[in-house]
Structure 1
């Protein structure tokens, strides 16, 4: 069964299957590196500005990493009149505070401070 011909269509030019769009090797050697650089740049920028979903950042970056859990215990009698303990994990004198939280707070916008334990005046 053949499809019916409409009158006047046979005089219209037939579309070309090959439209003549061609890319030379010189153009290709320019287009490919630019496209790869654009994709890589987009990926790196998106990684820089995005936060990993579901992955939390670590608090302890360097202290006793071979231990499953870092625990310190002190008797209240051994403290003296006052003790200042680190809560930011950045102190070089950990578990005691050395003021490293100030730099940490400036860099991260955090508001962590030390734990201060002192004996009540009688």
Structure 2
């Protein structure tokens, strides 16, 4: 029988109650701040990307009068006639009037928005 190419390694005794994994105080002063920075950095990066990707989902007005700081419409009651139906989902192609676009919006988002209906009271 041939002899092994290398001599066998001696087994080292391990102190009772230890697993063999030891970290010194100097190593902890490096590991802990790095771990905290990694966790905080991961959290901040995930918040940044989740905010930038869902930012448009949080807005209701995606297309109308975006150059204006605030979109406001005003109507006189005399000009309405007997009934007027106004959009509240901001998806209507006839905005500010409702064209039923809220139905598709509700299906896509799980929302429950509907139009604003103004009608004259029967006398």
Matches within 5 A, 1:13-32: 13=10
Number of residues of Structure 1 aligned to a counterpart in Structure 2: 77
Matches within 5 A, 1:30-49: none
Distance 1:103 1:57 in 2: 17
Query: TM-score scaled to structure 2, two decimals?
Result: 0.56
Query: 1:35 corresponds to which residue?
Result: none
RMSD: 2.6
Matches within 5 A, 1:102-121: 102-121=103-122
Gap runs ≥5 in structure 1? 1-11, 16-46
State the shift of 1:13 in Å.
Answer: 2.3
Query: 1:88 corresponds to which residue?
Result: 89
Distance 1:57 1:51 in 2: 12
Query: TM-score scaled to structure 1, two decimals?
Result: 0.57
Distance 2:110 2:63 in 1: 21
Query: 2:67 corresponds to which residue?
Result: 66
- Secondary structure of 1:103's aligned partner: helix
